Structure 1
């Protein structure tokens, strides 16, 4: 009998990338890759590459864990995912990280910007609006794990420090500021004041490339000197920093290892987050046929471009294994010890076995024994490490602090091309919108920004109410 050129693996619900209507989708294995096949009655057939590593893709399913719900839900379920975001009762994960966009405006007009920000776009939120946003998060989460102050560019808000003061009064475990680093580079006094908000405070610093042409294509300007000076100032105050890399295939994907190595050399850097470009918002220099970059391609590049991590070190994050990969290491002097490999994957799923003692490496033990003599509180060390190590077991590592942690995260923000409703229901990175609803990051950029609201209603009107 004739055979199809692929192996049928699974079924899901996706979107037509043209009209954003829900469509049935097959997951198939073909030519050692994972593809999504979908067909829209208006726009025809689509074939989308979603993974380049079949075994890793299949293994992600083994990391699923019981869903952690918010304390409350915010919207009813009328139309079905993804048309009811708010969070609705059908969502399967609370907010591990919640973003508050305090302004639409930015001191750049990047060719790549999911929020369409620019110096004259939109407006600044009022302090009253921002506090209400924070209160919505607290009502849902009790003690939110991570809240990120974002924009636009949040540092251009005229009441920026008042915003941080309000956020610090809330029961938030870890506060971040998402920034392009321009003000941090130009104003050391600004950085000194930021440092007063530590601990449990972090800079989420845009850091896409060391190459002039890549920065100009992604950001519209050569920001190499800005990045260098920002890191210099952040190092001076040892202000915890994550380097955030927007990846575009063939543009800066050859620099993944170099950026990780650079981050390890910086006193202030606690990790690198790698984000393949989401096809949303303003996207001027992007060809979806050639420039898309899958999560598994990022993972392979890390393994090929560094000698720090092995495949066993880069694991799916159980709260959303289809969209998140984590690799953790300890920085001890000039030594870097991968941490994730020391975790039994079952410990990620079994709360009855949730303590790790580091006995696997003699050199690591010697460093830990030396650090025990510092007198740091065991509880404080555990609190600082656990607060940012989403979904990992508790750490029995006295003498360590957040300064010793280095993490590499791959954050795959799903778009209309690779939309998979299974992953969207598990999304744990959320945004509070102007209507005070909590929206998954992915669907926010597809449906819930101001310029998309009318079309969302058009789609809803086509659906019988559930």
Structure 2
């Protein structure tokens, strides 16, 4: 009998990338690649590459754990995912990170922008609107894990520091500012004032490439000197920073290793987040057929382009394993010590908030002894258990602090091409809509921004 050229693995619901209607989708394996096969009655057949490592893709399912719910849901489930966002009662994950967009305005007009921001687009939110957004998050989360102030470019808001004061007065565990770094580079006193909000405060700094031509493609101009000066100021005040890389295949994916190595040399940098481009918003110079890069592609390039991490250092994040990869290390005395490989997945899945005391774990104990041999003072013991590793068990590590942490995160923001309803239901990065709903980052950019709301209203009517 004739055979299909692939092995059928699974079934899910996806979207037609043209009309955004829900369609059935097969997940199949072919030549060690994972594809999604789907057919729209109006727009035909689509074969979408979603992973380039079959074994890793299958292993993702081993990292599922019981969902952590918000304290309340905001909308009812009526039309079916993804047409009920708010968070709806059928959503499977609380907000690990919630984005508050305080302005639509930006001091750049990037050719790649999920929010369509520019110097003239939209408006600034009022202080009252922003505080209401914070209160909505607190009502849903109690003590939110991470709140990220974003835009647009948040540092152009005329009431920026007043908004920071309001945020710091709320019971938020960790506050971040998502920025292109222009104001940080040009105004050292601005950075000095930012540093006064530490601890539990971090800069999420756009850092896509060392190449002027790549920066012009992604950001519209060469920002090399801006990035260098911004990091100079951030290092001066040791202001905790994450470098954020928007990735496109054959554009800047060959720089992943060099960006990680550069980040490790910056005293203020706590990690690198790698984000494959989401097909949403403003996308110039981008062809979905050739420029998409998968999460497993990025993971493999980290392994190939650095000599630091092993495969078991870069693992799925249990809250949404289809969309997130994490790896943790400690920076000490000029050396890098990967840590994720020493965490038992059983502990990770059964109770991600367990505390590991390194003396009680043979492998970890040996590793920590090696760390202490670098000369770190073991007399400097902190009173509290150090919550060094987000999404991992807490590690009681005397003498270590957040300054010693280095994390790698791959964050796959799913779009209409690789949409998988199973992963969307577990999305844990959310945005507060201007009307008060809390919406997954992915569906916000596909359906719920300004004029796109008309699309979702039409699709809701079709699904009544």
Fold shared by both chains (TM-score > 0.5): yes
- Provide the residue aligned with 1:123 in structure 2: 123
CA distance in 1, matches of 2:376, 2:72: 45
Tell me the alpha carbon deviations over residues 365-415 of structure 1, each in whole angstroms, 9 at most, x when there is no partner: 4348843212x4141x514x2xxx332012111111100000000000000
Please tell me whether the aligned partners of residues 153 and 180 of structure 1 are also in contact (alpha carbons under 8 angstroms).
yes
CA distance in 1, matches of 2:376, 2:221: 46
CA distance in 2, matches of 1:456, 1:411: 25
CA distance in 1, matches of 2:155, 2:354: 42
CA distance in 1, matches of 2:176, 2:279: 24
2:378 is aligned with 1:372: yes
CA distance in 1, matches of 2:197, 2:367: 36
Provide structure 2 residue ranges, at least 5 long, that are not aligned to the other structure: 359-363
Please tell me whether the aligned partners of residues 354 and 394 of structure 2 are also in contact (alpha carbons under 8 angstroms).
no
- Provide the residue aligned with 1:137 in structure 2: 137
Tell me the alpha carbon deviations over residues 289-343 of structure 1, each in whole angstroms, 9 at most, x when there is no partner: 1100000000000000000101010000000000000000000111100010011
- Provide the residue aligned with 2:356 in structure 1: 355
- Provide the residue aligned with 1:269 in structure 2: 269
CA distance in 1, matches of 2:117, 2:451: 13
CA distance in 2, matches of 1:349, 1:216: 42
* Greater Cα offset, 356-365 or 404-413: 356-365
Please tell me whether the aligned partners of residues 378 and 397 of structure 1 are also in contact (alpha carbons under 8 angstroms).
no
Tell me the alpha carbon deviations over residues 26-85 of structure 1, each in whole angstroms, 9 at most, x when there is no partner: 000011100000011111110000000000000000000000000000001110000000
2:445 is aligned with 1:440: no
Provide structure 1 residue ranges, at least 5 long, that are not aligned to the other structure: none
* Greater Cα offset, 67-76 or 352-361: 352-361
2:313 is aligned with 1:313: yes
2:296 is aligned with 1:289: no
Q: 1:80 to 1:356 in 2, by over 3 A?
A: farther
* Matched positions, count: 458
Tell me the alpha carbon deviations over residues 4-24 of structure 1, each in whole angstroms, 9 at most, x when there is no partner: 000000000000000000000
CA distance in 2, matches of 1:255, 1:438: 34
Please tell me whether the aligned partners of residues 181 and 230 of structure 2 are also in contact (alpha carbons under 8 angstroms).
yes
CA distance in 2, matches of 1:356, 1:213: 48
Please tell me whether the aligned partners of residues 356 and 393 of structure 1 are also in contact (alpha carbons under 8 angstroms).
no
SS of residue in 2 equivalent to 1:243:
strand
Q: CA offset at residue 439 of structure 1?
A: 0.2
Please tell me whether the aligned partners of residues 342 and 360 of structure 1 are also in contact (alpha carbons under 8 angstroms).
no
Task: Within 5 Å, give how 1:92-111 maps onto structure 2.
Answer: 92-111=92-111
Q: CA offset at residue 262 of structure 1?
A: 0.3
CA distance in 2, matches of 1:370, 1:216: 43
Tell me the alpha carbon deviations over residues 175-230 of structure 1, each in whole angstroms, 9 at most, x when there is no partner: 00000000000000000000000000000000000000000000000000000000
Tell me the alpha carbon deviations over residues 403-443 of structure 1, each in whole angstroms, 9 at most, x when there is no partner: 00000000000000000000000000000011100000000
CA distance in 1, matches of 2:418, 2:368: 44
CA RMSD of aligned residues (A): 1.2
- Provide the residue aligned with 1:226 in structure 2: 226
Please tell me whether the aligned partners of residues 71 and 141 of structure 2 are also in contact (alpha carbons under 8 angstroms).
yes
* Greater Cα offset, 259-268 or 345-354: 345-354
TM-score (norm 2): 0.97
Q: CA offset at residue 451 of structure 1?
A: 1.5
CA distance in 1, matches of 2:225, 2:422: 42
Task: Within 5 Å, give how 1:385-400 maps onto structure 2.
Answer: 385=388, 389-400=389-400
Q: 1:369 to 1:215 in 2, by over 3 A?
A: closer
Please tell me whether the aligned partners of residues 38 and 46 of structure 2 are also in contact (alpha carbons under 8 angstroms).
yes
TM-score (norm 1): 0.97
CA distance in 2, matches of 1:272, 1:362: 23
SS of residue in 2 equivalent to 1:203:
strand
SS of residue in 1 equivalent to 2:26:
strand
2:386 is aligned with 1:382: yes
- Provide the residue aligned with 1:212 in structure 2: 212
Please tell me whether the aligned partners of residues 28 and 37 of structure 2 are also in contact (alpha carbons under 8 angstroms).
yes
CA distance in 2, matches of 1:277, 1:250: 12
- Provide the residue aligned with 2:361 in structure 1: none
SS of residue in 2 equivalent to 1:416:
coil
CA distance in 1, matches of 2:368, 2:206: 37
SS of residue in 2 equivalent to 1:8:
strand
Q: CA offset at residue 364 of structure 1?
A: 2.5
CA distance in 1, matches of 2:70, 2:368: 42
CA distance in 1, matches of 2:205, 2:383: 30
- Provide the residue aligned with 1:87 in structure 2: 87
CA distance in 2, matches of 1:112, 1:360: 46
